[in-house]
Chains A and B, each alone.
Chain A
Amino acid sequence: MQSTANRDLLVGLFVLMGLGLIGYLSLQVGGLSIRDSGGLILYATFDDIGGLSPRSAVRIGGVRVGRVKAIDLDADLRARVLLDLDRGLELPVDSAAAIRTSGLLGDQFIALEPGAEEELLVSGEEFAFTESAVNLDKLIGSVVHGDGLGGGD
């Protein structure tokens, strides 16, 4: 009987560990959210999102505060990005969103610049100021063809 009880304990531990690791893989690594965020949901519209993709990071001053939840085209055929930000984050209404790259060729992420207004953005609102991704191809092209840096569009 003692050995059966021991065996059951080991089986229980094994199952708990397996389920725990499946949970870790799904929630932490796979980014599945069981709570329907409940965080701050904001929109940002860009002319060019470059290599930004769902699950890309959103950062303020390099600190991760959320992620890109979805990307689609709006009625004016501009890229509309849905940001899922941490609960309790307080962003002034004149905050800006910019697409940046970590390193020269690294992952792209959205950098938020908090503004100075008293009034705060609430869920469902949109960033008033956005800055598109720097397109390295265009940049190189403009240098090669002698249009000069920063010129063009």
Chain B
Amino acid sequence: MTGGIRRLGAATLAEIAEIGEVVRFGGRILRATTRPPSRWRFFLAAVYDAGVLSAALIAASAITVGFVLGLQLYNTLSRFGAGDSLGTAVGLSLIRELGPVLTALLVTGRAGSAITAEIGAMRTSQQLDGLRMMAIDPIHFIIMPRATALAFVMPLLSAIFVVLGIFGAYLIGVELLGLDAGSYIAGLETAVEFRSDVLQSLVKSLVFGLLLGLIATWRGYSCEPHSAGVSRATTSTVVTASICILLADYLLTALWSI
């Protein structure tokens, strides 16, 4: 009886301790960004890996999501005789919600897991210890460029997602279903506000990028140094980051509508 309660207590304490570790880890990354040298080349390489190489995936997903939104929302809206509001519905749902969230989830799977595996493999083969031996801080040399790159590319990828999604729904709505192109664009431009919609979208994707950068690098940095540990850390990055992103999305949406 008490054994079960004791295990629950131990698990809770371990969880709280890890949250504390992650926050300290985040603080170390933050301090590393202000310390010279800037590790500019590593940052560029990480932007290439996480951003440029994810762009094709993001573009293909966005077009497909746009097609689906066009068909589904038209179906719903036309029941109320409001098929002409397709632009408004597509624009608002993509900009406020689907763009940032789906982009973050896709980047988590595509780039976040890769970064965890890479750092985990470095730790397993003691490359991080090797860096410390040479008096190079691995946080500054390895972690910081990758974490900042994830936070940097997220809003850019999200903007690509949103615009291509709107374009995909335009193709369905205007070219296939025969809606008026003018009312699609006008509905979109009249309904979307900068502060409440576009800014919300940008802030969301930036927060998701920061979260993913922190979680992906932490999971790699703290992984158990063997092959099973790397695989567990990679899985755990995808699970933890996805849940954190969805939770943060809810909190940000709630805060924004106050």
Residues of A at the B interface (CB closer than 8 Å) are: 7-8, 10-11, 14-15, 17-19, 21-22, 24-26, 28-32, 55-57, 106-107
Say whether A26 contacts B156, CB under 8 Å.
no
Contacting residue for A32 out of B44, B95, B186, B194, CB 8 A: B194
Chain A neighbourhood of B162, CB < 8 A? 21, 25
Contacting residue for A22 out of B44, B84, B91, B156, CB 8 A: B156
Chain A neighbourhood of B163, CB < 8 A? 21, 24-25
Residues of B at the A interface (CB closer than 8 Å) are: 44-45, 47-48, 51-52, 55, 84, 91, 95, 153, 155-157, 159-160, 162-163, 166, 186-190, 192-194, 197-199, 201-202
Contacting residue for B193 out of A14, A15, A55, CB 8 A: A55
Chain B neighbourhood of A25, CB < 8 A? 95, 159, 162-163, 198, 201
Q: State in angstroms the CA–CA spacing of A32 and B47 once bound together.
A: 28
Q: Secondary structure at chain A's binding surface: helix, strand, loop or mixed?
A: helix
Say whether B157 contacts A31, CB under 8 Å.
no
Listed by A's residue number, 28 A-B pairs whose Cβ atoms lie within 8 Å are A10-B48, A11-B48, A14-B47, A14-B153, A17-B160, A18-B153, A19-B156, A21-B159, A21-B160, A21-B163, A22-B156, A22-B159, A24-B163, A25-B163, A25-B201, A26-B198, A28-B189, A29-B188, A29-B192, A30-B193, A30-B194, A30-B197, A32-B194, A32-B198, A57-B186, A57-B190, A107-B187, A107-B190
Contacting residue for B202 out of A22, A24, A55, A106, CB 8 A: A22
Q: State in angstroms the CA–CA spacing of A107 and B186 once bound together.
A: 10
Q: A18-B159, A29-B188, A56-B190 are in contact. List 19 more A-B contacts (CB 8 A).
A: A14-B51, A14-B52, A14-B55, A18-B157, A18-B160, A21-B156, A22-B156, A24-B163, A25-B162, A25-B163, A25-B198, A26-B194, A28-B189, A29-B91, A29-B192, A30-B198, A55-B193, A57-B186, A106-B84
Chain B neighbourhood of A19, CB < 8 A? 156
Q: State in angstroms the CA–CA spacing of A55 and B196 once bound together.
A: 13
Number of CB contacts from chain A to chain B under 8 A: 77
Chain B neighbourhood of A24, CB < 8 A? 163
Quick one: given A14-B51, A22-B155, are A29 and B198 in contact (CB under 8 Å)?
A: yes
CB distance from B200 to the nearest CB of A (A): 10
Chain B neighbourhood of A7, CB < 8 A? 44-45, 48, 52
Quick one: given A29-B189, A29-B198, A32-B198, are A15 and B159 in contact (CB under 8 Å)?
A: no
Chain B neighbourhood of A56, CB < 8 A? 190
Chain B neighbourhood of A28, CB < 8 A? 189
Closest 8 CB pairs of A and B: A18-B156, A30-B194, A30-B198, A32-B194, A21-B159, A22-B159, A14-B52, A21-B163
Chain B neighbourhood of A21, CB < 8 A? 156, 159-160, 162-163
